[in-house]
């Protein structure tokens, strides 16, 4: 059993600078972190969306927060807000339209709101 285990666990030296062996064993580890520009754009996108959401009427804002951000069902959102399901759908629809227009004026229009 020891022989079997040794044959499975093969060691590959990392400090060997031979290009053929590096390509053969795939020792290069790609950088999986996002670049600073992408981080900045995501942060800016979040700030713009937050600013646009705060401009909505409170009941419309709540409908969007519960339905879209908290990912509750339309039925659960209606129950929590004390509205009918069709009223929740209407508020979310009109709220998204208003968000889209506000974000377009700011020079940003995410695909999910169009």
H-type alpha helices, the chain: 2-8, 19-25, 36-54, 58-64, 74-81, 85-105
Instruction: Identify the pLDDT of residue 39.
Output: 87
The CATH number linked to 103 is: 1.10.10
Instruction: Identify the pLDDT of residue 108.
Output: 73
Instruction: Identify the pLDDT of residue 93.
Output: 96
The mean pLDDT values, 10 residues at a time, for the chain of 114 residues are 61 58 58 80 88 92 93 94 95 94 79 52
Instruction: Identify the pLDDT of residue 22.
Output: 47
Cα distance between residue 56 and residue 104, in whole Å: 15
Instruction: Identify the pLDDT of residue 45.
Output: 87
The alpha carbon of residue 79 and the mean position of all alpha carbons in its chain are separated, in whole angstroms, by: 27
Residue 17 lies in a domain: no
Q: What is the pTM of this model?
A: 0.60
Residue 42 lies in a domain: no
Provide the domain limits for residue 64: 58-114
Residue 45 lies in a domain: no
Q: How many domains does the chain have?
A: 1
């Amino acid at each position: 059993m020891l022989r079997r285990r040794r044959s499975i666990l093969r060691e590959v030296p990392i400090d060997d600078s031979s290009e053929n062996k590096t390509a053969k064993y795939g020792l290069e580890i790609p950088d999986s972190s996002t670049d600073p520009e992408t981080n900045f754009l995501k942060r800016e996108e979040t700030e713009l969306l937050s600013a646009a959401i705060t401009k909505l009427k409170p009941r419309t804002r709540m409908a969007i927060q519960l339905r879209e951000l908290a990912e509750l069902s339309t039925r659960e959102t209606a129950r929590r807000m004390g509205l009918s399901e069709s009223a929740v759908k209407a508020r979310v629809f009109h709220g998204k339209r208003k968000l889209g227009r506000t974000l377009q004026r700011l020079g940003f229009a995410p695909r999910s709101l169009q």
